[in-house]
């Protein structure tokens, strides 16, 4: 299995949508074949269309607010005492997370297709919040599917979705988290694909959704590349990019533009959710060697039992609490372009405490996983190494969990 150079990774799949011959694909009911083919045709045409890109960039700039900041974390660097620690503050984006890029692109596509309704899944609530924002902006009706357990633990985002006029549909089946929300959303699309557009909230699902999402979030690394050259005059000789990985949309977007660099120069480190340290359950299929299986239309490494039933996950962070992982990350793992590891709930909480103590930055529980590993590794790295963590979400949505686990002083009012 080999990663090709000078071809975008999203376009390296084969005719049937498999990366490396085995990850991804289209394991979907017959009914969805046609809408998926339509979307493929539309996207393949538009992704090279100058006018469409202009339109996208206009909304990215004026509405989402690009570029998001690239800042040095001086106090944290001093405290850790090793590599230089920087952050790409993607949570600056309108709405507070990277999910806005994919949501905006899906709404632009839906609008052009003349669809009136857009549906989506959500775990942490960011994908849903952003889709509800974008749908409102573009005049589309919006339905968001969300696990009942996640609705309880991510109330601020649920309120935001409702404020934007979206229907939030609680999903009570299975573990009542993201995995069930995605299933229910796909089922709804099966029954309504003639009138309704679907947005999958991450780089998961049938191949076309993986591609659209990866294309959209790549905005992050496009910006970062320019910012690095402005700051250092070149791409640093020793660069390490840390990102949390659940479905994998922010990490893929954070890395995409650096894909062709030698990994000795630009290393990618994906941090999965290891779950509570005392529990056997986790949401880290790459770190803990899960087998390949089919989930939500795509072949991927996925937590499952020997029969093929998908296993329940456990993580403090709703956004990473998913048993599978993007086919793109399976591909990057097996081609050895990226390295994957995990952080536990407790480690993520500790990292959150450290970051908020030293810096005026409040990463949500998802990027706190990445901070945890980055802080640990930066200690042992030379001063000329540039460590960058994608702070892809803001902790406002986690205030309930943070208050419960860490006490009131860690929750600042907004």
Partner 1 sequence: MLNPISLAFKKAKNESRPALLTYTVAGDSSKKQSLEILKAISNHADILEVGVPHNTPVADGGQIQTSSYRAIKNGIKMNDIFKIVSDFKKSKNSKPVIFMGYYNMIYQYGENNFLKKCKQSGVNGLIVVDLPWPENKNFSKKCKKNLINFIQLLSPTTSNKRLKSITKDSHDMIYYISMLSTTGGKLKVSPKRILANYNKIKKISPKKNCVIGFGITEKTISNFKNTDGLVVGSQICKEITRSLSNRQNPVINVSKMVSKLKKKIS
Coil, strand or helix: which one is 17? coil
CA dihedral 51, 52, 53, 57 (to 10 degrees): 100
292 sits in which H/E element = strand 292-295
Which one of 24-32, 86-94, 162-170, 254-262 is the stretch in contact with partner 1 (CB under 8 A)?
24-32
CA dihedral 187, 192, 196, 200 (to 10 degrees): 10
Check binding of 42 to partner 1 (CB under 8 A). Answer: no
Quote the least distance from Cβ 244 to partner 1, whole Å.
Answer: 23
Check binding of 119 to partner 1 (CB under 8 A). Answer: no
Among 154, 217, 249, 304, binds partner 1 (CB under 8 A): 304
Which one of 27-35, 71-79, 380-388, 391-399 is the stretch in contact with partner 1 (CB under 8 A)?
27-35
Quote the least distance from Cβ 402 to partner 1, whole Å.
Answer: 31
Check binding of 360 to partner 1 (CB under 8 A). Answer: no
Check binding of 30 to partner 1 (CB under 8 A). Answer: yes
Among 16, 41, 53, 229, binds partner 1 (CB under 8 A): 16
Q: How many CB atoms lie within 10 A of CB 194?
A: 9
CB within 8 Å of 228: residues ≥ 6 apart: 70, 234, 235, 236, 239
Check binding of 44 to partner 1 (CB under 8 A). Answer: no
**Using CA atoms, how far apart are residues 207 and 221, in angstroms rounded to an integer?**
21
Which one of 31-39, 61-69, 80-88, 222-230 is the stretch in contact with partner 1 (CB under 8 A)?
31-39
Check binding of 25 to partner 1 (CB under 8 A). Answer: yes
Cα separations (Å) of 342 from 53, 160, 269, 374, 379? 36, 30, 10, 11, 18
Check binding of 234 to partner 1 (CB under 8 A). Answer: no
Alpha-carbon Rg for the chain in angstroms = 20
Cα separations (Å) of 224 from 6, 251, 252, 254, 341? 19, 13, 13, 8, 23
Quote the least distance from Cβ 32 to partner 1, whole Å.
Answer: 8
Which one of 177-185, 238-246, 336-344, 389-397 is the stretch in contact with partner 1 (CB under 8 A)?
177-185
Check binding of 295 to partner 1 (CB under 8 A). Answer: yes
Residue appearing with tokens 């802080």: 375
What residues from 273 to 292 belong to the interface with partner 1 (CB under 8 A)? Answer: 291
The secondary structure of 62-110 as a DSSP string is III-SSPEEEE-HHHHHHHTSSEEEEEEGGGSTTSBTHHHHHHHHHHHH
Quote the least distance from Cβ 46 to partner 1, whole Å.
Answer: 22
Report the interface residues with partner 1, using CB under 8 A.
16, 25-35, 173-174, 179-180, 183, 186-187, 190-194, 291, 293-297, 304, 306-310
């Amino acid at each position: 299995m080999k990663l090709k150079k000078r071809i975008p990774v999203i376009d390296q799949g084969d005719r049937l949508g498999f990366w490396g011959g085995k990850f991804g694909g289209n394991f979907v009911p017959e009914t969805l074949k046609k809408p998926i083919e339509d979307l493929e045709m539309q996207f393949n045409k538009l992704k090279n269309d100058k006018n469409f890109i202009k339109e996208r960039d206009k909304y990215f700039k004026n509405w989402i607010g690009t570029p998001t900041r690239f800042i040095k974390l001086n106090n944290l660097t001093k405290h850790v005492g090793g590599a230089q620690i920087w952050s790409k503050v993607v949570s600056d984006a309108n709405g507070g997370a990277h999910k806005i890029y994919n949501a905006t692109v899906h709404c632009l596509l839906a609008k052009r297709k003349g669809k009136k309704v857009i549906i989506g899944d959500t775990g942490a609530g960011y994908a849903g919040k952003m889709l509800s924002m974008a749908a409102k902006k573009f005049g589309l009706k919006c339905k968001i599917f969300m696990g009942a357990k996640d609705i309880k633990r991510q109330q601020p985002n649920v309120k935001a979705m409702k404020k934007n006029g979206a229907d939030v549909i609680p999903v009570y089946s299975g573990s009542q988290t993201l995995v069930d929300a995605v299933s229910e959303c796909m089922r709804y699309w099966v029954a309504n694909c003639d009138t309704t557009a679907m947005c999958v909230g991450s780089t998961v699902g049938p191949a076309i959704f993986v591609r659209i999402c990866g294309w959209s979030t790549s905005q992050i690394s496009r910006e970062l590349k320019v910012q690095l050259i402005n700051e250092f005059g070149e791409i640093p000789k020793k660069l390490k990019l840390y990102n949390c990985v659940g479905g994998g949309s922010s990490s893929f977007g954070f890395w995409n533009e650096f894909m062709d660099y030698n990994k000795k120069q630009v290393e990618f480190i994906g941090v999965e959710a290891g779950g509570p340290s005392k529990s056997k359950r986790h949401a880290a299929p790459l770190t803990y060697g899960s087998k390949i299986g089919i989930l939500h239309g795509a072949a991927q490494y996925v937590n499952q039992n020997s029969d093929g039933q998908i296993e329940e996950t456990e993580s403090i962070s709703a956004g990473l609490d998913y048993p599978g992982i993007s086919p793109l990350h399976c591909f990057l793992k097996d081609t050895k372009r990226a390295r994957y590891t995990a952080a536990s709930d407790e480690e993520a909480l500790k990292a959150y405490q450290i970051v908020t103590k030293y810096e005026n930055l409040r990463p949500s529980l998802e990027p706190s996983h990445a901070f945890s590993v980055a802080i640990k590794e930066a200690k042992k790295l030379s001063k000329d190494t540039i460590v960058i963590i994608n702070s892809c979400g803001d902790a406002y949505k986690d205030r309930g969990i943070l208050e419960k686990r860490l006490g009131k002083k860690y929750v600042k009012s907004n």
